[in-house]
Amino acid sequence: MIVVMKPDATAAEIAEVIRRAEAMGARTQPIYGQDHTVIALVGDLTRVERAVFDAMAGVQRTVRIQEPYKLAARTTHPDKTVIQVGPVTLGGPEVVVMAGPCSVESRQQILETAHAVKEAGAHILRGGAFKPRTSPYSFQGLGEEGLRYLAEAREATGLPIITEVMTVETVPLVAEYADILQIGARNMQNYGLLQAVGKVNRPVMLKRGISGSIKELLMCAEYILSNGNMQVLVCERGIRTYETATRNTFDLNAVPVLQRATHLPVVADPSHGTGDRDLVIPMARAAVAAGADAIMVEVHPDPDSALSDGAQSLTPEQFAALMEQLRRVAAAVGRPMAGTGQRSPNGRAAAGARPVFQP
């Protein structure tokens, strides 16, 4: 259930609604929109009486939420959620591009890639320090060493960084370095991990599982939101179907469906969605045309020698060409591409990082 406050509701009236709801056993989450403050009531609502709130000062109306994902639903939060990561705005009118290698392989590799994608116009640097792999014998990432290299790349370029966190135990470590925490497809339903990232003050990008439905994706986002972290992005990265021509089936339908169902920013990952660098560029264009708030693509200075996902990684030259095309597509659908902005004095896009690595 949500309690919609009147536009002129006072802080005291909002506080009283929250107090009364929690006294009835509900958990509350105030959501401050452009025109209204909405208070979401979640948890055990058996003792909650709508009539009590309808009669309270400052309340405009109460609404029962039909969707099982109460906090992620558009009904709860009609205004689009906007997440600020340093100079980058996610969920606003501008299209954002995240780019970088699948894995951080070395200091030279990540710095070279970071400078190349920054020069081409990328807004956020991606790179994996911890890598979940199908085979236990495949490259698993550099761990904290990779995080240090990412932090150095941020310092050198001003690009905020997004990297994957795989376990509950490593959440504090990764959160010290990363501007955005990524939950990979294999961990979409790792509920302990979702609860852990829901308790940190970092934006979280949640990838759709390889066999996950859109409803399941949003229910997993609900785990993060219900633990207090309202800075969540949802990412379509392809699902497993009977088709074998591509690595996954890139569900382009998911982009407008998610935009209709949720207020959370929607990201599209055509690299994992196709697994084929020749298909990444056309599907990235299609995702922007379909309404994605951000695109995530893999870029490597030498894809043929990459330790992971080389087949779907663009060269820096291909990425530069993609950026030019995305600018035109975004303009055609009435959305500008985000500017690169200015980095903060210490190169950090979000507060709370440890000092960056110095070689």
- Return the pLDDT at 358: 34
Residue reference for tokens 């609860």: 195
For the chain, the farthest-separated pair of C-alpha atoms sits apart, in whole angstroms, at 67
Which tokens in the block code for residue 163?
Answer: 């990297």
Answer whether 303's CB lies under 8 Å from 134's CB: no
Return the sign of the alpha-carbon dihedral for residues 96, 101, 106, 109: negative
> How many other CB atoms are there within 10 angstroms of residue 156's CB atom?
16
- Return the pLDDT at 133: 63
Cα angle: 97, vertex 102, 107; to 5 degrees: 100
Antiparallel, parallel or unpaired: β 59-63 and 2-5: antiparallel
Answer whether 359's CB lies under 8 Å from 152's CB: yes
* Residue ranges of domains in the chain, CATH in brackets: 2-63 (3.30.70.1140), 83-332 (3.20.20.70)
Mean pLDDT for each consecutive 10-residue tract of the chain (359 residues)? 93 95 92 86 89 94 91 91 96 97 96 98 96 69 92 98 96 97 97 98 97 97 96 97 95 98 98 97 98 98 93 97 97 88 40 34
Beta bridge partners of 239: 249
Distance CA 12, CA 198 (A): 27
Query: Percentage of the chain with pLDDT > 90?
Result: 84
Answer whether 208's CB lies under 8 Å from 240's CB: no
- Return the pLDDT at 359: 32
On whether the pTM is more than 0.75, the answer is yes
